[in-house]
Amino acid sequence: MWCVLHRTPGASLSDLKFLDIPIPRAFEPVILHDERLLRSLLTDSSFSAFAEIPNPYILWPEGLRILLQFGKLVHRYHLQNACTLHLVESVTILVSVRQFYIDGNILRSAVQTENVEIMKLIVDALVEERRELQSLVERHLSGDELASLQLRSKTLLGYQAHTAHELLKANGLELCKRVDRDNDDPWLVYASIRESREMADLLWHCGFQDVDDPNAEGYMSLMFCKDHEFADWLISHGAEIYRRVLGTPALHLMASNVDLSFNQIRFNHSKRSLRTFHLILQDESQDECDCPCSSSGCLAITCLFVELLHSHTKKLVRIPRSTSFTF
């Protein structure tokens, strides 16, 4: 119902009833934008039973503020929905209340909007969190605990932020009281932004300057990358192409993941994409594969074309004899 409200701005109660849409009493203030009605409903037992803010209120910033003043709670999904619907004012309100930590899902929602203002709001909120976190760990953790976080000068915590929170909690400290803490799992910053170079630039210039930040299994953002242009961005900002996980270099893993067709390889002539393809083509490092075609290990270009062929087996792909690859 709240999606209908968003798509039909200015709709009255009679308009929605005509559409045979049931209107819960708690949502009437949103439709009418009636602050007085909302305040009166907040004393009603049917509405006061709501601990969390009903989703439709993200469409009405004034109502959202009133509900927050009355102690109603918000969660990550409120912010994700506000991002998806390009509700800049509501995004501003929701990041300011700080009842949850910014996570990778919120970053992805911001990237999907392609709205620079929303992306900046989310990055600024994340940066503020991480700066406060870093300040706390530097003041309160022991030398050994700090060493385990591998802090770098002028670089904000990435994947290790979760460990930092856990260490602080073990010492009886916390960044601040958060309502939504059930899903505070660790996540890789640059693997969470849908290969958006615009978002990557924002994050880099705000202090997330370790693109090789590994997860618990040792995998880095480059190893999950599916886009040649974004791979070039990561490599140009310090991603190590020869770092290995289970004997396989990062470049090989990226080549195996890349989402390309033969036509894209043939016709995508962007400088970033070509630089990455050249790197794969010319690289002579080998993984620890022992397959019939590469008894001494596969090259990155082998990984790329094996993946291309595998992804097109159901499409009966044929490469025309006239096809030539020129760089």
Q: Does the structure show a pLDDT above 50 at 326?
A: no
Instruction: Supply the DSSP string of 192-207, one letter for each residue.
Output: SSTT-HHHHHHHHHTT
Tell me, yes or no, whether 181 lies in a domain. yes
Name the pLDDT band for 86 (thresholds 50, 70, 90): very high
For residues 218 and 310, state if they share a domain.
Answer: yes
For tokens 């109502």, the residue is: 63
Q: Are residues 300 and 222 in the same domain?
A: yes
pLDDT recorded at residue 318: 44
- Tally of domains in the chain: 2
Residues 205 and 243 placed together within one structural domain of the fold: no
Nearest Cα to Cα of residue 189 among 222, 226, 217: 222
In a domain, 150, yes or no: yes
Task: Read off the pLDDT of residues 211-225 as tens digits, 9 standing for 90 and up.
Answer: 999 999 999 999 999
Beta bridge partner(s), residue 69: none
181 with 218, same domain: the answer is: no
CB 256 within 8 A of CB 303: yes
pLDDT in tens, 243-288: 999 999 999 999 998 766 555 555 556 889 889 989 999 999 999 8
Query: Is residue 38 one of the residues assigned to a domain?
Result: no
CB atoms within 10 A of CB 324: 7
Is residue 202 domain-shared with residue 260, that is, in the same domain?
Answer: no
Model confidence pLDDT, tens digit, residues 172-213: 887 765 655 555 789 999 999 999 999 999 999 999 999 999
Concatenated DSSP letters of 119-145: HHHHHHHHHHHHHHHHHHHHHHS-HHH
Residue 185: the pLDDT is 85
Whether 317 shows a pLDDT value over 80: the answer reads no
Domain at 289, CATH number: 1.25.40
The beta strand positions in the chain, using DSSP E, are: 244-245, 248-249
For 132-142, how does the pLDDT look when each residue is reduced to its tens digit (9 = 90+)?
999 999 999 99
Q: Which three-class secondary structure state does DSSP give residue 218?
A: coil
Domain stops at, among 182, 210, 238: 210
Residues 189 and 202 in one domain: yes
Do residues 155 and 222 both lie within one domain? no
Does any domain span residue 327?
A: yes
- Say yes or no to pLDDT of 89 above 90: yes
Short-list 280, 205, 281, 291, CA closest to 249 = 280
pLDDT of residue 19: 53
Q: Which of 157, 190, 210 is the last residue of a domain?
A: 210
Closest CA to 253 of 201, 217, 203: 217
Same domain, 204 and 122: yes
pLDDT band at 90 (very low <50, low <70, confident <90, very high): very high
Distance, CA of 81 to CA of 78 (rounded, Å): 5
Q: Are residues 205 and 234 in the same domain?
A: no
Q: What is the DSSP string of 224-275?
A: H---HHHHHHHHHTT--TT-EETTEEHHHHHHHH----HHHHHH---HHHHH
Decide if pLDDT at 8 tops 90: no
**Shared domain check, 277 and 169:** no
Asked if the structure places residue 270 within a domain, the reply is yes
Q: Per-residue pLDDT tens for 9-56?
A: 455 555 555 455 677 888 889 988 999 999 999 988 767 767 899 999
Domain end (from 151, 184, 210): 210
Question: Per-residue pLDDT averaged across 145-166, rounded?
Answer: 93
**For the segment 102-126, what is each residue's pLDDT rounded down to a tens digit?**
999 999 999 999 999 999 999 999 9
* Domain match, 253 and 195 both: no
Inside any domain, residue 133: yes
pTM (2 decimals)?
A: 0.86
- Looking at residue 27, what is its pLDDT? 87
Question: Is 37 part of any domain?
Answer: no
Q: Residue 76's pLDDT is what?
A: 93
CA-to-CA distance for 249 and 243, rounded, in angstroms?
Answer: 5
Compare 217 and 314 and report the one with higher pLDDT.
217
Q: Is residue 134 a part of any domain in this protein?
A: yes
Asked if the model's pLDDT at residue 321 lies above 70, the reply is no
β-bridge partners, 180: 100
Whether residues 327 and 220 fall in one domain: yes
Which residue range is the domain that position 197 belongs to? Answer: 112-210
